[in-house]
Amino acid sequence: MTPENKSMRELQGSGHERVGLQGQSKFRFGNYDLIRRIDVGGMGEVYLAHQRTAFDREVAIKIIRSDLVHDTTARKRFLREAEVNAYLKHEHILPLFEFGEEQGRLFLVTPYISGGTLSRRLQAGPLSLVEVHQLFTALVKAVAYIHRRGVIHRDLKPNNILLDREGNSGEIYVRLIDFGIASIQGMAASPPLTTAGTEMGTAAYMAPERLSGTSAPSNDIYALGVILYQLLAGQFPSADQRVSLPQPLEYVVDNCIAADPADRFATAEDVLNAFEYAYQYLNASSTQKMSPATPPFIPVPGDDLISNNAGNNKQQVKTLHRSDVFPRSSSPSFRPPGLDAFDQNDYGSPTVNFDLANIQDKPHVTATHAPVTGHNVPSNPPRSSRPRRNPTLAIVTLLVVFLLFATAVLFFFAEVQPTLDVSGNVNFGPQVQLIKQVFHIKGSVSQQNVDVNSATIPVKTLNSSKDGSLSGQTTGQRCILPPLFDCQQVVAQSDVDGLSAQLRQSLDDKISSDLRAQIHSQNGTRVGTIQFVDASVDVNPQVGVDGTSVTVSITGQQGQAAYIVSQDARQLARSLLQQQVEKMGANYILLNSMMQVGQPVIKGADNNGNVLIDIAAAGDVQYQFPSSQLQDIQNAVKSMKEKDALAFIKRQRGIDPTTVTIHLSSGYIMPGDPQKIKIVTINPASYPAVFLPQVS
């Protein structure tokens, strides 16, 4: 029975229904029909499947292996892979469709990519420079993206790089996959997802510092260098069978796979820039080629650029020269140790556990003791004319020497030797505290932009104009013999005044409504009252003229309102809160996700016409540990007693004393070697509740 059929039968035996489709055997797994197995990895099996609720679209579904269903660490690692993948969104990273559990089997679903892996493509030999540029730049962009998101892949290799051919264009897209052993900076797994003293990875692409448990972007940069060399040369970097690359590309590879992380490129963006420069230089036209007399240079990252040679200070640079072919050379350049043993069989590149205890040299402390022998004194020595020595003094001297020696031995085994063999983990978290304040800011008509220094925001104005007319009955009379004989209705002044007042009030209400709507659309808050400018009134017929009705008209009734934009006030409040955080000292950061800003409240105006505004803001502030502080703590607590080290660490700046724990492999004395003290910073278990202070 083939392994594929065996795995399918295991799924069937787990309660998954088997169905037939056009004569083809397949198995149902939840919402998916499994067609065939694609691959088997360290944690799961990958199948080509059809998603029934998505019109049977083709997907790849990764299911945790049946033998790992009850393995807590494997399940947590599987969950971490899905969590990290869901956290990422990039055109060169395979997206996550779904994550779930079906009858105890964890699974995750991604698009199905039929183009195969970069590993399979490399079996056909090295790639052209154009192909390398297309694939490698896409890969480095994906790595740079995850590094900006705080994710370290830690298992970059051709097997984890899918090649996706889009349509009939022939263009190939890179899709980075498998974040099973990825780590997130600042996030500590609980419990750890690797066993103490072990590391996971693929040997050919594993940076040397991984053997000491270091997880950093330099791990991925090292792997990028190995992959780039494979793309160009078709083999692993090897001192025995080395393919000489053009110097611009040699420069990029060398500064990726340097043994010391400090000698590598600092970021993936630096790798991309250097590779792009080398590619452009090698593809330059004949008119653009640089003269050999003045070749371009790039300073080597991490090197000491000032060296003393015969008393003269010179800058060490890496000179780039153009080479149209890849000649082989019999004089291999430096390569990090450990890469010479790999051959074509390593294209499988399995991800495995490494036992660091079998790789790193263990320190040994030995002590030698010379046996002390004495000489027998004759019972009857010959007589001498010299005076006899006092034997008591000799015995006391020997006792003193013996006691001193015994004390030294006891001190060594009680105090020194335990610190040489012991290793320790120190865990602590950062201080997190709530900061809140009501800020008193100003608004000014003359201010054009938000000014943090003067705590002033602009006051803006809006205008509105309305026209209207209103008619009414006349109440005036004109009689020959008042009040009874021959009376006629005429326009009275009271008629005009009453209609004018009604019309003006109606226009003012319309203007007010219009201005309020405009301010609301600007997300603003009105300052003061609306100011009206009365326009002149036209009357028809005029006062005193015969008529039973009269019409008054007003043209250009004006209104003006001042307002502030609420967003301006909130922006200023955020900046002022950030200033308060900066006063707390370096390494304190304001957590944007835990910040709240209230609505501005108009309090009045000062003698200069400035609007006085109060606005409340609050947020959580967290301390970030610089690497120099962590190193100083390592050096300070070495050889300390555990309780003294605990008290010392609790007093350090930015550390939450309630989170400090120390775990020693044995004894109660901290290691004497700082390298054996591993410091792990943990995320806060909870954050203070954020609430705004009341604006009085």
Flag whether pLDDT at 539 surpasses 60: yes
Flag whether pLDDT at 103 surpasses 90: no
Query: Going by DSSP bridges, is the β-strand pair 151-152/161-165 parallel, antiparallel, or unpaired?
Result: unpaired
Please compute the mean of the pLDDT values over residues 478-482 and round it to a whole number: 72
The partner residues of 355 in beta bridges, in order of sequence, read: 198
Residue 341 phi, psi dihedral angles, 5° rounding: -90, 5
Cβ(658)–Cβ(646) under 8 Å? no
Say if residue 350 is exposed, middle or buried (CB neighbours under 10 Å; 0-12, 13-18, 19+): exposed
Identify the residue with better confidence: 421 or 95: 95
pLDDT, position 135: 96
Say if residue 511 is exposed, middle or buried (CB neighbours under 10 Å; 0-12, 13-18, 19+): buried
pLDDT, position 492: 94
536 Cβ contact list (under 8 Å, min separation 6): 554, 555
The partner residues of 623 in beta bridges, in order of sequence, read: 588
- Cα distance between residue 148 and residue 146, in whole Å: 5
Flag whether pLDDT at 304 surpasses 60: no
Q: Specify the range with the lowest mean pLDDT, choosing from 151-165, 319-333, 397-411, 504-518.
A: 319-333
State what percent of residues in the chain have pLDDT above 70.
Answer: 75
Flag whether pLDDT at 359 surpasses 70: no
- Cα distance between residue 380 and residue 85, in whole Å: 93
Taking only the tens place, the pLDDT of each residue in 224-247 is: 999 999 999 999 887 677 788 999
pLDDT, position 308: 33
Q: Is residue 1 very low, low, confident or very high in pLDDT (cuts 50, 70, 90)?
A: very low
- Cα distance between residue 675 and residue 395, in whole Å: 46
Please compute the mean of the pLDDT values over residues 427-446 and round it to a whole number: 95
3-state secondary structure 254-288: HCCCCCCHHHCCCCHHHHHHHHHHHHHHHCCCCCC
Identify the residue with better confidence: 655 or 318: 655
Taking only the tens place, the pLDDT of each residue in 42-56 is: 789 999 999 999 999
Please compute the mean of the pLDDT values over residues 309-317 and round it to a whole number: 32
Taking only the tens place, the pLDDT of each residue in 10-34 is: 554 454 555 443 444 568 999 999 9
Q: Specify the range with the lowest mean pLDDT, choosing from 167-171, 375-379, 385-389, 590-594.
A: 375-379
Flag whether pLDDT at 662 surpasses 80: yes
Q: Is residue 162 very low, low, confident or very high in pLDDT (cuts 50, 70, 90)?
A: very high
Residue of 347, 94, 78, 93 whose CA lies nearest to 205: 347
Cβ(162)–Cβ(177) under 8 Å? yes
pLDDT, position 11: 56
Flag whether pLDDT at 607 surpasses 90: no
Q: Specify the range with the lowest mean pLDDT, choosing from 214-223, 346-355, 507-516, 627-636.
A: 346-355
Taking only the tens place, the pLDDT of each residue in 190-209 is: 334 444 344 455 788 999 98
Say if residue 181 is exposed, middle or buried (CB neighbours under 10 Å; 0-12, 13-18, 19+): buried
pLDDT, position 165: 78
What domains appear along the chain, each with residue ranges and CATH number?
Answer: 3-111 (3.30.200.20), 118-354 (1.10.510.10)
Identify the residue with better confidence: 176 or 322: 176
DSSP state of 180: T
Flag whether pLDDT at 286 surpasses 50: no
- 44-50, long-range: CB within 8 Å, 24+ apart, which pairs? 44/78, 44/107, 45/7, 48/112, 49/109, 49/112, 50/26
pLDDT, position 354: 53
